[in-house]
Structure 1
Amino acid sequence: MFGRMFPALPPLAATDNQLVKLATAMTEFAPDDPIGDNPGIPAGFTYLGQFIDHDITLDLTPIGRANIDPMAVHNFRTPGPDLDCLYGLGPRVHPFMYQRGQDKDLFLIGETSATPGRGDPSVPVSQPFDLPRGPDGTALIGDPRNDENLVVAQTHLAFLRFHNKVVIQLKAGNLEPIVPGQASRFEAARQLVIWHYHWIVLYDFLRRLIQPSVLDEVLQGGRKFFIYDREPFIPVEFSGAAYRLGHSMVRATYDYNRVFTPKSGGVTPATLELLFLFSGGSGSVVPIPSDWIIDWRRFHEVDASITPGKSRKLDPFVVPPLTDLPEFRNEPDKRLRSLTFRNLKRGVQLGLPSGQWVARQMGMTPLSAAELSTGRDGAAAMANGFRVQTPLWYYILKEAKVQEHGLRLGQVGSRILAEVFAGLIQGDPGSFLNIYPNWKPTLPSATPDDFTMADLLNFTGDVNPIGAEGANGPEPEVSNSARQW
């Protein structure tokens, strides 16, 4: 089940009219302005964060519910980051995700295809760089949400390929299992993958998002606010507010590969609309065409000679496409088509306390009214009754802008994320924090005793399957129908 970190705090009350006005003021006016880019967080971490979210939470409660009791809401994911969204229940119980016969330890990998209007006809017709799919295009994966947009789908695919590479290297004798003599090659690979994933979550992903010292304080000094008895739960202060920080990181357009880029020689930038279109969950074009295989050099620091694109800053603004998402366009209530309004509305339904109450409960000084009132978003907050008590999701994003200039979360947001992620991994009896706290990554990496998302991609290989060397490659030949995308 879900639960609360601060069960004694009173909920924030707000009307839909108040929330709509604040949500409207949170729309970014200049989403492609470089001044909004976050130099410390490459664009790929936005979608790694979405992948991690899908690994630990799945709340199917309808947004139309008047109010929600977190203690009665079932989480359809195990709360620990144990990659159940990747592995399911393993090849015996979920064989449709795995290869058959002697290769049953390996995940199925899908093939890309050509469709009329491909952006670059020189790209080979079929390559093993799509999610595995059934006859109707449905992705055969542990969580269908990882086929909602193309970048999170390609992130899921990267983890499928990562597992397969570990299995192959174990079989060849090039890697050693963590437990010597482990009989099952699948379990040996799974443990290696999960431990390195835990390391990425804590020391690559999380350290980029929060104040640098907070994670060390939590790991060394212990958790103070995320407390559980036997098994961890997902706090709604985390799932309904703090971890929705990723929505402010989303870009309106991406430099996706040498074909779909705003740079010279490209067909068109990869807009959010296109990233949803080329998916099975929110779109319709699957299997994906080969020229939509991602160039990971543009999303993570996998090549020292190429600077990846950046995420947007952590602040109270979201790009305009998130205010009218394709997956919500059938909603008769137009307000519910906006992710910004839905986040604020969900916070009220969950009975989340205000950001000021949480700050005080943590022994921190809340943002002042003068700090909250800055900018058009702050003016809307002040004009709509949020001067003293502010929605927690908005407060955490505003805190990041005020205290850290949008480069990372502020004190409340940092502490919630550090405590929850540390607590979830500590609550997994099979994690390295429980079994071998002094463990260091063993797979090849750019830095000894470390392992990053860039290391995972380089270890897996094929970081740029369709591109030539260089940041943008040769100018492709482009069909007229491709330009119409």
Structure 2
Amino acid sequence: MGQYVPTGKFGRLFPSLQPLTPPPEALEALGAAMKGPPPPEDPSGDNEDVPAGFTYLGQFIDHDITFDTTPIQEVLVDPLALHNFRTPALDLDCLYGRGPADQPFLYQLPPNDALFVIGRTSAKAGGGDPNVKPSLDFDLPRGPQGLAVIGDPRNDENLIVAQLHLAFMRFHNKVVEGLQAGTIKPPSAVRRSLFEEARQLVIWHYQWIVLNDFLKRLVDKDVLEEVLEKGRSFYVPEGDAFIPVEFSAAAYRLGHSMVREGYDYNEVFTFKPGTRRKTTATLGLLFRFSGRSGTDVPIPSDWIIDWRRFFQFPNDGVTAGLSRKLDPFLSPTLSEIPDHGVKPGLNLPIANLKRGRSLGLPSGQNVARRMRIKPLSPEDIAKGPDGQVAAKHNLHLETPLWYYILKEAEQRGNSKRLGPVGSRILSEVFVGLLECDASSFLASNPQWTPTLPSSKPGHFTMTDLLRFAGDLSPINDAKNLVTP
């Protein structure tokens, strides 16, 4: 039974399990061993089942349901004392903020206040391909300091998640236009404001994507189906929904393993050969072209994303890039995240391990036993160079939960999806967040199926969302190029 907490808090799935508190130096050694090989990336490390865009959709979803501002500490922290500055619901408050009445600066002026304000790219030509016209409407709206004026500033941390946030804004605006034109039917017979009708349609289609496109790629499908059909066993809030720390600080940090060192971003910024190629879209550059982590904003027009290279668009002539496999190895850049010279950079694997310790997370083996799942053996944990370091510090016997879940994905999910423990945590929490939200489609209308245009009637994917929003590859559109 989950631990009850008020709305806006974190809590525990397994409050009776003993915290695992290994020496910090053991975690530092294990985190250092989780650094992946340097570029170029070996194609054998790609996950052919998960296109690269889902890495950043996962980050966008995380920003929708959690926002914890507490620093990493060496001492134990009570999750009940942590405040979640996000509603624990898949309600896109990271996109909508508090709506046009309370945050009118996110929206256009009346009578168009159901529409988001869209930002424009730099008025200066890009350094990669100056033939792409400047001042195109493909950036986040920004204030005088270059920071994005959006519902959650964290979605301006890197360029891919920023462009994804922008895609959701454009998707909403297209839904508004469709409702106004009568080409889209309102979500219910009860008449509401244009904004609220569009918002419900966008949120329900987003929730469908999370459950049926995103989650089904990352977890064991049998586990997810069991949770949907037979109910939840571990995430069972006695009152309002909350975010379990076993989810936020361990299982859902699977996305860190999926990050690439560089991306086939568009025809200009790619590792693939071509006449327009300038350089690879490295992680360093993707952080640089964002208001929160860099200074090169508004972005130059040649940095507008090509979505065909991040999600699968059959018959479009472009092959989507892939995420990296789910295993204990992270991109080298994530072990040396720069902080612009203000203070030493962040080693993400070590930070994650210490975060789990400070929150008193139980070992992966204890969680598995509590779920009546056969734990990984000490020999399983000790496999590989990372496992050898874990064994050296006796972490193969009782293993930090985040590392255990990645090791389980490697050993039991063939590095393509999570193993049984990770799959169960993600499935129960995501289904639970939907079922605990009276306004979600799963709670209020479980027989509902998507109504917007899609490649498969009654279904809806990120590919469908992006195609509906339009402008999949703006830098290849003749109207956005300088005429010779």
Shorter-chain TM-score: which interval? over 0.9
Deviation digits for residues 191-232 of structure 1 (CA, Å, limit 9, x no counterpart): 000000000000000000001111111011000000102211
Pairs within 5 Å for 1:29-428: 29-30=37-38, 32-64=41-73, 66-115=75-124, 118-265=127-274, 266-304=277-315, 305-327=317-339, 330-332=342-344, 337-428=346-437
The 2-side partners of 1:183 and 1:70 are apart by: 39
The 1-side partners of 2:191 and 2:372 are apart by: 47
- Residues 139 and 280 in structure 1, CA contact (< 8 A), matched pair in contact too: yes
Deviation digits for residues 340-395 of structure 1 (CA, Å, limit 9, x no counterpart): 10000000000000000000000000001111111001101100121210000000
> Please, which of 5, 21, 25 is the counterpart of residue 13 of structure 1?
21
1:65 deviates by 5.7
1:306 deviates by 2.1
The 1-side partners of 2:338 and 2:162 are apart by: 17
- Residues 257 and 467 in structure 1, CA contact (< 8 A), matched pair in contact too: no
* Equivalent AA in structure 2 for residue 298 of structure 1: R
Q: What is the percentage of aligned positions where both structures have the same residue?
A: 59
The 1-side partners of 2:403 and 2:177 are apart by: 46
Pairs within 5 Å for 1:462-481: 462-467=471-476
Q: 1:411 to 1:328 in 2, by over 3 A?
A: farther
The 2-side partners of 1:303 and 1:141 are apart by: 32
SS at match of 1:360: helix
Deviation digits for residues 398-456 of structure 1 (CA, Å, limit 9, x no counterpart): 00000121000000000000000000011111011111111000001111110000000
- Residues 311 and 462 in structure 2, CA contact (< 8 A), matched pair in contact too: yes
> Please, which of 31, 35, 55 is the counterpart of residue 23 of structure 1?
31
- Residues 126 and 301 in structure 2, CA contact (< 8 A), matched pair in contact too: no
* Equivalent AA in structure 2 for residue 76 of structure 1: F
The 2-side partners of 1:126 and 1:302 are apart by: 27
The 2-side partners of 1:205 and 1:329 are apart by: 36
1:101 deviates by 1.5
Q: RMSD of the alignment, in Å?
A: 1.5
The 1-side partners of 2:335 and 2:443 are apart by: 42
1:155 deviates by 0.5
- Residues 10 and 242 in structure 2, CA contact (< 8 A), matched pair in contact too: yes
SS at match of 2:48: strand
Q: State the TM-score, normalizing by the size of structure 2.
A: 0.95
* Equivalent AA in structure 1 for residue 31 of structure 2: A
SS at match of 1:101: coil
2:3 match = none
* Equivalent AA in structure 1 for residue 278 of structure 2: V
SS at match of 1:135: coil
SS at match of 2:475: coil
The 2-side partners of 1:152 and 1:350 are apart by: 27
Which structure 1 segments of 5+ residues have no match? 478-485
- Residues 276 and 326 in structure 1, CA contact (< 8 A), matched pair in contact too: no
Q: State the TM-score, normalizing by the size of structure 1.
A: 0.94
1:327 deviates by 3.7
1:326 deviates by 2.3
The 1-side partners of 2:369 and 2:94 are apart by: 36
* Equivalent AA in structure 1 for residue 43 of structure 2: P
Aligned length: 468
Q: 1:229 to 1:329 in 2, by over 3 A?
A: farther
The 2-side partners of 1:7 and 1:126 are apart by: 53
- Residues 282 and 326 in structure 1, CA contact (< 8 A), matched pair in contact too: no
1:95 deviates by 0.5
- Residues 70 and 82 in structure 2, CA contact (< 8 A), matched pair in contact too: yes
The 2-side partners of 1:282 and 1:15 are apart by: 32
1:330 deviates by 3.5
Deviation digits for residues 1-54 of structure 1 (CA, Å, limit 9, x no counterpart): 100000000000111210111011111115510000000100000000000000
The 2-side partners of 1:61 and 1:264 are apart by: 44
Deviation digits for residues 263-284 of structure 1 (CA, Å, limit 9, x no counterpart): 1121001000000000011111
1:181 deviates by 4.3
- Residues 405 and 422 in structure 2, CA contact (< 8 A), matched pair in contact too: yes
Which structure 2 segments of 5+ residues have no match? 1-8
2:5 match = none
1:468 deviates by 5.9
**Pair 1:431 & 2:440 matched:** yes
- Residues 297 and 303 in structure 1, CA contact (< 8 A), matched pair in contact too: no
Q: 1:193 to 1:117 in 2, by over 3 A?
A: closer
- Residues 81 and 424 in structure 1, CA contact (< 8 A), matched pair in contact too: yes
Q: 1:437 to 1:368 in 2, by over 3 A?
A: same
- Residues 260 and 269 in structure 1, CA contact (< 8 A), matched pair in contact too: yes
* Equivalent AA in structure 2 for residue 170 of structure 1: L
1:108 deviates by 0.4
